[in-house]
Amino acid sequence: MKFNKINFNDIVNTIGFYICMYDKEGIIRYYNLAFKNAYLHGSEAFVGKHFSSIENVEYQGVTGIKAVIETSEGQSYQKKIENLGLFYINTAPILHNGEINYIIETIATPFKAPILPVKEHVPEAPAQDMFLGDIKMQSILETISRISNFDSTILITGESGTGKSMLAKYIHSKSKRANKPFITINCAAIPENLIESELFGYVAGAFTGASQKGKKGLVEAADTGTLFLDEIGLLPLQLQSKFLQLIQEKTYTPIGALKSKTVDVRIISATNLNLKKQVMEHKFREDLFYRLRVIEFHMPPLRERVDAINPLIDYFLQLYNKTYHINKSITFETRKLLCSEGWSGNIRELQYVMERLVVTSRDDQITVGDIPSFHETDTVAENNEIKNIKFEDEVEAFEKELLFRYYSIYKSTYKLATAIGISQTKASRLLRKYNIQ
């Protein structure tokens, strides 16, 4: 077969990166079609002109040409531009006898929209949407509808990531308190030395460093609404008696106060621990345990609710398509592979994996090849058995990558937490976990 002579311009113009070549003075000597379409408008030729003649604001905000000319050292970095995405810039000098001969700059924009929503708030799914067609959840939802007019305390048990907090919010939304506050207290997230003041508040001058105006606690903030005690099994033993008083008498005493306060709250709690075992080990009060579980719901793990996986895949795909302003689909083979996984991290793990697939998949359709842990170089065995994989490792790697990327931009745990939609306490804990500074 005879091939035509390949033209250098034809090759470079097929590359999606923006490429421009300059001399040592910053004079433009060559650029590809992608660079022209992105930064050079009209039919005017820019070859022979200085890089400063390019008036495009985006280009002047990302180019590293000036730094290379001044230092003779290559520049390689990432830069995020609001509403446009994360740019990868590599500006490399070509040296001859130690002096710059030419400078080649490539600018890549793999994501046309921000990698994570910075200002956009993504609403959580209603329980009836999240568990549409899920047989195991139907009895729970039916029971909730029957008790919606009662204020009995509720205990939600189940493994981490099964959707306990989501179910608590759903119960609140179906109750007569639906238009009142829903306050979440994560008993594991608040430092033990601060938890009492955060929960019950304090009066002016209650202790050294206390505000002279006092402070309203989260319990008071939940008045007339619902108080959700997440990770109740980790509540310090010395505070459990105060919660027993709160549940039984609807009263509590702020730190430093001489009189108790009355509050009207409905108590919902959740735990992934075996509270009966905690009681036997004298780590949890038996009387509080029985007061918390007047009504008990157990959230089954996702591996026992296979019929829920497909609706969840569809929900998270739609959610992140909307979040990142894209429109990706998923192949049948990929969907089948996801449904076959054990999901030890439950719904939370599936959500993280779906976000990762939407963000990192190269094309508009998510394929099996976009799941490195699943993808095998050889074909799947004839018995169609899927090799077990460690999704926890994949999720942690993705989590670490996102945290590192956004902390390098914001340099603040508060801004980082706001950007990715988590609490500042959780952001700080994760940064320490991954040793990100």
- The per-residue pLDDT for range 29-54, each reduced to its tens digit, is 998 888 887 888 665 678 888 888 88
| Residues 254-269 pLDDT 10s | 888 888 899 999 999 9
Of 348, 295, 320, 356, residue with least CA distance to 144 = 295
Segments making up each domain of the chain, as ranges: 8-108, 135-302, 303-433
DSSP letters along 264-296, please?
Answer: --EEEEEESS-HHHHHHTTSS-HHHHHHHTSEE
Paired residues of 78 in beta bridges: 88
Determine the average pLDDT of the residues in 127-136.
59
Q: Tell which wins on pLDDT, 188 or 162.
A: 162
* Number of neighbouring beta carbons within 10 Å of residue 41: 11
pLDDT at 223 over 90: yes
Q: Rounded to the nearest 10 degrees, what angle do helices 164-173 and 135-147 cross at?
A: 40
Q: How confident is the model at residue 135 (pLDDT cuts 50, 70, 90)?
A: confident
DSSP 194: T
pLDDT at 271 over 60: yes
Q: How confident is the model at residue 5 (pLDDT cuts 50, 70, 90)?
A: low
* List of residues 6+ apart from 144 with CB closer than 8 A: 170, 171, 174
Q: Domain 135-302, what fold?
A: Rossmann fold (3.40.50)
Q: Tell which wins on pLDDT, 16 or 247.
A: 247
DSSP letters along 349-404, please?
Answer: HHHHHHHHHHHH-SSSEE-GGG-TTT--SSPPPTT-PPPP--HHHHHHHHHHHHHH
**Most confident stretch, 277-291, 342-356, 399-413:** 277-291
Of 155, 182, 159, residue with least CA distance to 170 = 182
Determine the average pLDDT of the residues in 394-412.
72
Tokens of 361: 């998949």
Return the minimum-mean-pLDDT range out of 5-9, 14-18, 302-306: 5-9
Which residue do the tokens 């730094």 mark? Answer: 67
Q: How confident is the model at residue 112 (pLDDT cuts 50, 70, 90)?
A: very low
| Residues 57-93 pLDDT 10s | 778 888 889 888 888 888 877 776 665 666 778 888 8
Fold match between 8-108 and 303-433? no
What CATH code is assigned to 303-433? 1.10.8.60
The secondary structure element, H or E, covering residue 335 is: helix 332-339
CB 177 within 8 A of CB 226: yes
Q: Domain 8-108, what fold?
A: Beta-Lactamase (3.30.450)
pLDDT at 12 over 70: yes
pLDDT at position 422: 78
pLDDT at 387 over 70: no
Q: How confident is the model at residue 208 (pLDDT cuts 50, 70, 90)?
A: low
Determine the average pLDDT of the residues in 328-338.
89
Determine the average pLDDT of the residues in 137-148.
85
pLDDT at position 6: 56
Determine the average pLDDT of the residues in 2-27.
75
Tokens of 393: 């490792």
Determine the average pLDDT of the residues in 95-108.
85
pTM for the model stands at: 0.56
